[in-house]
Structures are given as C-alpha cells and as structure tokens.
Amino acid sequence: MARLKTAVLISGRGTNLQALIGACADPSFPAELCLVVSNRPDAEGLRRAGAAGIATRVIDHKGFADRRGFEAALDAALREARAEFICNAGFMRVLTEWFVERWRDRQINIHPSLLPVFPGLDTHARALAAGVRIAGCTAHFVRTEVDAGPIIAQAAVPVRPTDDEETLAARVLEAEHRIYPRALRLIAEGRVTVVDERVHIEGAAEPRGVLINPADS
C-alpha cells in the first residue's frame, strides 16, 4: 500500500515536526514526509527536516502583497512536491477560505488546548487564569475559523498547583508529540471520515480509566 505523501507547514522550532519525522522514519508507518515548508527563513524546523533528508522550501509571507499571493505560492509548492496531505506544526499564519477549501479534509493542525476551549493564542496563560484542573491538546482538521475544525484526537494532562505557563506548556507539548503522529496514522490508514463536521474513526478502541485532579491523597 502506498504511503500518504505528507507536507508539513512550520514557522518555528519544529518539535511536532520532529515527532512526525520520528514516526515516518518507520517504513511500516502509513505516511511519508515529502516536503517541509516554512514562512520564516530562520525557523529551526528547517534544520530538523534537512537533517532527516526531507526536502524544504522557504516561502516568506513578507515577500507577497497579500495573503492570496502567499497562499498561491504555497499551494504551488505543495503540488509540485505531489503532496496529498498537510500537517500544520506550529504554522503561525491564518489561512484564507480559498486555501482551506482547496485542501479541505486534507489538512490538520495540532493545538495546545482541549478544544473548543481556549482557541487562538496564549492558551496556557488563559488555562491557568481560568483555574482549570485539566489541560491538554487537540489534533483537528483545519477550517476557516481558527482552531474550530472537526476533532480527531485529544490528550489530557493534569494542571499542577505549582505550574506556570512554561511548565504547563512543556507537559502539554509532550502530549502533542504523542497524539499528532497518531492522528496522521489514523488518517493515512483510511480509518477517518468526517460526517456533519464530526470525525468518525473506524475500529477506534475505547479509552480506559479516568484522569482526576486533584487525586486522592
């Protein structure tokens, strides 16, 4: 069975990209990375991709008069690489309806909150300010509204009394690295369908146990 040719869009460190690189390095993984595109030439993720032997492109959004021009160049690069699917991994550009619809149900994102709560930026600060006991992350399909697409997978982590933004972000990021390759695997295996803007996963196992915070002393 052919592996799903996947491109990754980044803007920064590329730690979720690294998780995808690690997963796709296994020949039995049903997806392969064909291209990494950054809108920032100084993105560390470009180095990660290069070290893994993955083709890279820099398409600097500052070189375009408008978002449509940038997205047309991005779309052309993806099609030139024969990408079939896109993973956004710390890609800090809001995409227009034109691009989102062009890649509808073929583009996913990872967000550091349990959506639909805390979409957008400053998620960890907002979670701490709200006093939530459980935080987490979400892999979801991309839609025009930011962080609002159909949910594929989520992971929950406890919020500790001593947490600040940095420590909570680190714990959530570890969870992101676990569920993002899993979401890509499910899609590449053909087990994911979107019906009425809800995700259905064929043969998905039911989770066990309950995360309770605070725990019993």
pLDDT 10s digit of each residue in the chain, 217 long? 799 999 999 999 999 999 999 999 999 999 999 999 999 999 999 999 999 999 999 999 999 999 999 999 999 999 999 999 999 999 999 999 999 999 999 999 999 999 999 999 999 999 999 999 999 999 999 999 999 999 999 999 999 999 999 999 999 999 999 999 999 999 999 999 999 999 999 999 888 888 889 887 6
Give the per-residue pLDDT at 217. 66
Report the topology of domain 110-204.
Answer: Rossmann fold (3.40.50)
Give the per-residue pLDDT at 216. 73
Instruction: Check: CB of residue 135 under 8 Å from CB of residue 159.
Output: yes
DSSP letter at 106 equals S
- Do the domains spanning 1-103 and 110-204 agree at the CATH topology level? yes
Neighbour tally for 51: CB within 10 Å: 10
In the chain, where are the structural domains located?
Answer: 1-103, 110-204
Give the per-residue pLDDT at 14. 96
Q: Which long-range contacts (CB under 8 A, 24 or more apart) does 170-176 make?
A: 171/135, 172/112, 172/113, 172/124, 172/135, 172/136, 172/137, 173/15, 173/112, 175/136, 175/137, 176/15, 176/16, 176/19, 176/110, 176/112, 176/137
Q: Where are the alpha helices (DSSP H) in 56-164?
A: 67-80, 97-102, 123-130
Q: Active-site positions? A: 111
Q: What's domain 1-103's architecture?
A: 3-Layer(aba) Sandwich (3.40)
Across-strand partners of 135?
Answer: 157
Place of tokens 């375009």: 64
